[in-house]
Chains A and B, each alone.
Chain A
Amino acid sequence: MNFYNLFKIALRAIWSNKFRSFLSMLGIIIGVAAVIIMMSIGQGSKESVRKNISQMGTNIIMIRPGAEWRGGVRRDPSAMQTLKIDDYEKILSQKSYISNVSPEVTSSGQAINGANNTSTSLYGETPEYMEIKQWAVKDGDVFTDEDVKKNAKVCLIGKTVADELFPNGQDPVGKTIRFKSIPLRVVGVLKSKGYNSFGMDQDNLIIAPYTTVMKRVLAQTYLSSINCSALTEEMTENAVEELTQILRTNHKLSGDAENDFTIRSQEEMMQTMSSTMDTITIILVVAAAFSLLVAGIGIMNIMLVSVTERTREIGLRMSIGARGLDISNQFLLESIMISITGGLLGLLVGYLGTLACSFFHLPTSIPLWSILVSFAVCTLIGIVFGYFPAQKAANMDPIEAIRYE
């Protein structure tokens, strides 16, 4: 019996039991649709996290005081005073893989403008910080290197701060606000970045020259961190190495001494985030895959019923010359067709489900390989769960089968 005829027989068998075939397909449809939707949500979230992180700049490198966490009692890194302005200056003079460097000192507290006040964070930076974190100014200008040199009492404010302190839609540029009683003249308002993927308001900040913050606000001589950006994303690793060398030399750390600073790249963070998302995706997909297993068992059940029901047909086919192989192929093809048809419908449902998810603003993206994988899995289910019923049919005794009541 050639394939075309087998195909016709299987098609007829499925078609003559439309409702039953559909019910057994339903398991596969739901399973595949679930896998597709889970994968697309997983993939979509991963992409959206990546996008969020790369919006912050993918080539950012952060240097913090204190060693990496490796056991033992550690002090709060913010209380450590190992990063100095000298480190910043050394980096500035020796850098080759790094484009921008900005030392950072931070403080948080109340910002006040007249009767309005808001709780916010103050970042002491250089103008290069704007490049590193990809900030843009909506109104006004960035403070200048000159302002940094002169410890000028100027600042840039985020949109949230602007909205809180100037609720009546006044233009904040040129106005003076107070942070911890230090008056700062607003030279520009930052373009909004919105919330990041961790749910933090990125616009609730004030940026001022780091010299101003260090000397006038905090009166401290050490830095909380140094932000740099690598020339390109690919050079991040080289840049991290370079920074490590510069700082170790500057901190006079000998051969095997532990670093008294930590360098983190955005790239690294992104990988951590991605792998977290991957884990979640895998868990979701495995859960969905179990429904495919159940669906396979459903198909096996239906095929066993079908074989029993058609015992006489099997007996007849055998008595007119069908071999066991012909019979088993016939039933195997039928179960494969059920599962593949179910799989295709499942893809369709999954696609529609994905559309529905994105309608509700869930980030989605169907990876191509997930389509191929679910197709392969369906075929496999058809073969695996069709095999036993097909063997049962093929091993029937034609004498008994033909007289089966």
Chain B
Amino acid sequence: MEQQENKVIIELDNVKRDFIVGAETVHALRGVSFKVYEGEFVTIMGTSGSGKSTLLNQLGCLDTPTSGEYYLDGVSVRTMSKRQRAKLRNQKIGFVFQSYNLLPKTTSVENVELPLMYNKRYNAGQRREAAIKALEAVGLGDRLYHKSNQMSGGQMQRVAIARALVNDPAVILADEATGNLDTRTSFEMLVLFQKLHAEGRTIIFVTHNPEIAKYSSRNITLRDGKIRSDEINADRLSAADTLAQLPKPVDD
């Protein structure tokens, strides 16, 4: 386990999650414990059925543990109501999904503003300002008013990442965020994630692609609802270097 003086952002203490399917009980998580410190870039890997989606739902406060405790930024999530968890998600978590989930026919800026719409502390001006800042941070400063259906997959995922950043979350949760993208664009995304990591963001990246683990600072592998390995990645690769080595796309 990493010995850091940094603040603990996420703490799971023997988290179990059971689902009752018909007469059977499925143990999706069978006691998972780990801590994530501020500024870490953690990949969570596992094959399908390993419990990584269930874990992601727990981390994202979309679900609550059957037993065990989950502390997000020091707050226990297990006993929270739906309403309280919605507020927590709004303020502490930034989601990036595999399929972007942008609102159709809506501009980048409006998509990015969306989380702040559900936060009463922001007025229209502050929302716009924060959204533009987030879009500039992901390199889309020149595409503020492009609509989602006028953009490429990579651009859409950048908008989604900007949307995850806009509320200045405690942790960014990426769920197979490169799964729908080609190799080159995938590496562009990894470059962006590494940049955000370098800026001090805490990132948890759930994936089944082992290659991505090479670019994170720490890798947790799940199998059958338990942690199989939890390793610090001492010599992580630079996604920018890998991207530079990729053959240039040939124009027809």
Contact = CB atoms under 8 A, between A and B. Distances in A.
B118 A399 contact: no
B62 A316 contact: no
Contact of B118 (A312, A313, A322): A322
B105 A323 contact: no
A321 B62 contact: no
Most chain A CB atoms below 10 A, which of B63, B87, B95, B117? B117
A317 B97 CA distance: 13
B121 interface: no
Contacts of A318: 86
B87 A321 contact: yes
Interface string B85-99: 011011100010100
B60 interface: yes
Interface in B55-88: 57, 60, 62-63, 82-83, 86-87
A312 B95 CA distance: 14
Contact of B62 (A5, A16, A313, A319): A319
A402 B106 CA distance: 18
Contacts of A402: 97, 101
Interface in B104-124: 104-106, 114-115, 117-120
A296 interface: no
A389 interface: no
Contacts of A315: 101
B90 A320 contact: yes
B57 A324 contact: no
A322 B83 CA distance: 9
A321 B118 contact: yes
A313 B115 CA distance: 13
Contact of A323 (B60, B83, B97, B103): B83
Interface in A16-32: 16
Contacts of B201: none
B104 A321 contact: no
A321 B83 contact: no
Dominant SS at the A interface? helix
A208 to B, nearest CB: 85
B101 A321 contact: no
A403 B87 CA distance: 21
Interface in B144-166: 163
B147 to A, nearest CB: 11
Nearest to A6: B117
A321 B119 contact: yes
Interface string B209-221: 0000000000000
A317 B57 contact: no
A270 B3 CA distance: 97
A47 interface: no
A1 B105 contact: no
A322 B89 CA distance: 9
Contacts of A2: 120
A297 B140 CA distance: 45
Interface string A301-319: 0000000000011011111
Given A398-B62, A399-B63, A402-B97, A321 B115 contact: yes
A326 interface: yes
Contact of A1 (B57, B82, B117): B117
A1 B115 CA distance: 10
A15 to B, nearest CB: 9
A128 to B, nearest CB: 79
A319 B118 contact: no
A16 B118 contact: no
Contacts of A323: 82-83, 86-87, 118
B13 to A, nearest CB: 22
7 contacts: A12-B105, A316-B101, A320-B95, A321-B90, A321-B118, A398-B62, A399-B57
Interface of A: 1-2, 5, 12, 16, 312-313, 315-324, 326, 398-399, 402
Given A1-B118, A317-B118, A323-B82, 20 more contacts: A5-B117, A16-B104, A317-B114, A318-B86, A319-B95, A320-B90, A320-B95, A320-B163, A321-B86, A321-B90, A321-B91, A321-B167, A322-B86, A323-B83, A323-B87, A324-B82, A324-B83, A398-B62, A399-B62, A402-B101
A-B pairs with lowest CB-CB distance, top 3: A321-B90, A320-B115, A321-B118
